[in-house]
Structure 1
Amino acid sequence: MTSFIIRDHVSRAAPPSWQTDPDCPFCRIVAGDSPAFRVYENERVVAFLDILPLRPGHTLVVPKRHVKRVSELPGEDAAAVGEVVSKVAGALVKAVGNTALNVVCNQEYAQAVPHVHYHIIPAPTFDSSTKISPPMNEAGTKQVLSHKEMHRKEFESRTELEEEEGEELAKRIRAHL
């Protein structure tokens, strides 16, 4: 009598909320198919360093479930993501020695990867004793830049995170969790 129930259950398609997108770089990281400098992970969320960071410590917090828009993120996942954003932000400020952060989640506009994710980015500091660089003019001397100019220069200077730097930075962040 129960064999038809089992047969129907086994052959049914998984609901969309359980599926991942094989073309999504974040889904590939979640599945372990693509490398990432992971700083935190639980059953619903993963946090890893951005491979093209704006500044050292630029971290992404991503729900494991593939959802394109934060406005469509189920409440349980939204709560889990929020908790991890706070936890990772706390560890990040200790790891980089900078309490100023920019926390951003884009939806469609300026969203490079169509999978919900939060950026936690240390703000620029203008103290030459830190690894986070002050804005420089073309001659390499300190100058006051407009916000627009500073953002343009930061965006243009993005380079891929080096393996050694990524591993060391992820380790420092994890040490403060």
Structure 2
Amino acid sequence: MPAGECSFCAIGAGEQPGHVVLSDEVAVAFLDTRPVFKGHVLVAPRAHVETLPDLPPPEVGPFFERVRSVTAAVEQGLEAGGTFVAMNNRISQSVPHLHVHVVPRNRKDGLRGFFWPRTTYDDPAEAEAYALRIRKALDPNP
């Protein structure tokens, strides 16, 4: 996808303004324009891919090394007590380019766990049925 068609690619190419905190051959990281808290950073792979499964396996490790570095830098540089690190794949992904959110956190900052309602399994058998479906998708021939 040409950089002009993807705002994250355009930021990485220097064609669109962004408050870049890291830029190398693997990833570009920049401040979110609608942060949960000030200092909220998005880390995106340099190559245009839409979701985590689309990222080629050899690029996963180097990309997450950048996520790890940015996470440490957000905590240290902002004197944050911790971070919330998350990613969406397709659903709730406002820009269709893989990116990881690194959000600075402090105790009593008002953010309560996850941003969505939680549920429960009806019983252990239902939980096991979901686990089995995922195991089969990971290894169809166990």
Q: TM-score surpassing 0.5?
A: yes
Aligned with 2:105 (options 101, 108, 123)? 123
Aligned-residue offset at 1:71: 0.6
Distance in 1 (CA, whole Å) between partners of 2:17 and 2:48 is: 18
Displaced runs of 4+ in structure 1, greater than 4 A? none
Structure having greater relative contact order (Cα 8 Å, sep ≥ 6): 1
Q: Which amino acid aligns with 1:105?
A: M
Aligned with 2:42 (options 60, 67, 73)? 60
Whether contact under 8 Å (1:29, 1:36) holds in the other structure is: yes
Query: Mind listing any 5+ residue stretches in structure 2 that lack a counterpart?
Result: 117-142
What TM-score comes out, normalization by structure 1 length? 0.59
Q: Which has the larger radius of gyration?
A: 1
What is the RMSD of the two structures over their aligned residues, measured on CA atoms?
A: 2.2
Q: State which drifts further: 30-39 or 116-125.
A: 116-125
Distance in 2 (CA, whole Å) between partners of 1:88 and 1:36 is: 16
Q: Which amino acid aligns with 2:69?
A: K
Whether contact under 8 Å (2:81, 2:107) holds in the other structure is: no
User: 2:20 aligns to what?
Assistant: 38
What TM-score comes out, normalization by structure 2 length? 0.73
Whether contact under 8 Å (1:85, 1:118) holds in the other structure is: yes
Aligned-residue offset at 1:57: 1.2
Aligned with 2:84 (options 102, 109, 117)? 102
Query: Mind listing any 5+ residue stretches in structure 1 that lack a counterpart?
Result: 1-18, 127-133, 136-144, 153-177
Q: How many residues align?
A: 116
SS at match of 2:73: helix
% same residue: 33
Distance in 2 (CA, whole Å) between partners of 1:82 and 1:125 is: 26
User: 1:76 aligns to what?
Assistant: 58
Q: Report the structure, 1 or 2, having the larger strand content.
A: 2
